[in-house]
């Protein structure tokens, strides 16, 4: 928050003073020792178009997502905090609130889901879960929130590796050909990128499939197409399970999961 000092004409931002006449801060960044590669007088890593620093503290690990192209772009330095996707305008610039803080599209994203250069529209993606990586619930929550943000159904699949019963990887299908009530891909082809040999590939076993119902009518129940797709998949593997990810009240922190395997 900016506070004007009438006696000097400087602006006080909570961590240091700024001289608007010459457009520089008058003291070094109090966190300068954490960023030795940067000039100690710099502001938001010299990227004021996309980043802000309302508190003077370390920047968040933030991303933007272009809904039209599906491109993910990291802005700011990587840290140990949970990730966020920020809202942007038509020029790709981060939108801000009146207090200068960024407007957040998706918050509290587990580490290990996002990375710079991903594309969720055109590409299939895979996320490793467990063992200090993202949690299964965290991936499910992200996919549902992403589905609501881009206003498309999104599908995916659960895999186990090395003959374990627990889910070790989750694939996320691209939403390029999806609508608000239909999805075309479960992203299963992404598993192939993790294997250099056929032997490695065969260690991955699909456990089940899911898709989102963002906030559509009858969101707690499978559609006729959902049941048709399930029946076709069961012909290849009778042990698969099938799930719908939705919110009980339209929005919520945790996804409501509907198992329609035996529906």
3-state secondary structure 51-110: CCCCCCCCCCCEEEECCCCCEEEEECCCCCCCEEEECECCCCCECECCCCCECEEEEEEC
Q: Residue 92: which pLDDT band, with cuts at 50, 70 and 90?
A: confident
- What residue has token string 């990810």? 245
Q: What is the pLDDT, as a whole number, of residue 55?
A: 53
List, in order, residues 6 or more apart from 184 with CB less than 8 Å away: 155, 173, 177, 178
Is 80 exceeded by the pLDDT of residue 16? no
* Strand-pair partners of 106: 85
- pLDDT over 70 for what percent of the chain? 83
pLDDT per position as a tens digit, 42-66: 666 565 654 555 555 555 579 999 9
CA distance 246 to 208: 17
Is 60 exceeded by the pLDDT of residue 146? yes
Q: What is the pLDDT, as a whole number, of residue 1?
A: 46
Sheet holding 155-160, edge to edge: 125-128, 169-172, 155-160, 205-212, 241-246, 256-259
Q: What is the pLDDT, as a whole number, of residue 48?
A: 60
Where in 91-213 does DSSP place strands (E)?
Answer: 104-109, 125-128, 155-160, 169-172, 205-212
Q: Residue 3: which pLDDT band, with cuts at 50, 70 and 90?
A: low
- What residue has token string 């889910």? 167
pLDDT per position as a tens digit, 94-103: 999 888 888 9
| Residue pair 259/243 in contact by the 8 Å Cβ criterion | yes
* Strand-pair partners of 119: 71
Q: Which of 206, 225, 205, 217 is nearest to 246 (CA)?
A: 217
| Residue pair 145/192 in contact by the 8 Å Cβ criterion | no
CA distance 100 to 105: 16
Tokens of 31: 């966190």
Q: What is the pLDDT, as a whole number, of residue 27?
A: 74
Is 90 exceeded by the pLDDT of residue 171? yes
């Amino acid at each position: 928050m900016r506070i004007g000092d009438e006696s000097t004409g400087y602006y006080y931002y909570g961590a240091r003073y700024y001289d608007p006449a010459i457009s520089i801060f008058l003291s070094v960044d109090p966190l300068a020792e954490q960023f030795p590669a940067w000039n100690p007088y710099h502001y938001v890593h010299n990227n004021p178009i996309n980043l802000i620093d309302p508190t003077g503290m370390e920047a968040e690990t933030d991303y933007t997502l272009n809904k039209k192209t599906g491109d993910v772009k990291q802005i700011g330095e990587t840290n140990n905090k949970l990730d966020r996707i920020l809202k942007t305008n038509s020029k790709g610039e981060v939108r801000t609130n009146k207090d200068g803080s960024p407007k957040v599209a998706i918050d509290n994203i587990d580490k290990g889901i996002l990375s710079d250069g991903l594309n969720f529209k055109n590409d299939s993606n895979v996320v490793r879960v467990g063992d200090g990586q993202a949690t299964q619930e965290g991936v499910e929550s992200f996919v549902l929130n992403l589905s609501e943000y881009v206003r498309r159904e999104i599908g995916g699949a659960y895999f186990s590796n090395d003959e374990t019963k627990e889910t070790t990887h989750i694939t996320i299908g691209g939403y390029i050909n999806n609508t608000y009530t239909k999805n075309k891909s479960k992203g299963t082809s992404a598993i192939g990128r993790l294997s250099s040999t056929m032997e490695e590939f065969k260690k991955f076993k699909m456990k089940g499939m899911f898709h989102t119902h963002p906030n559509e009518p009858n969101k707690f129940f499978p559609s006729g197409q959902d049941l048709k797709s399930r029946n076709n998949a069961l012909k290849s593997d009778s042990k698969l399970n099938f799930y719908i990810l939705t919110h009980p009240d339209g929005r919520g922190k945790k996804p409501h999961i509907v198992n329609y395997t035996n529906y």
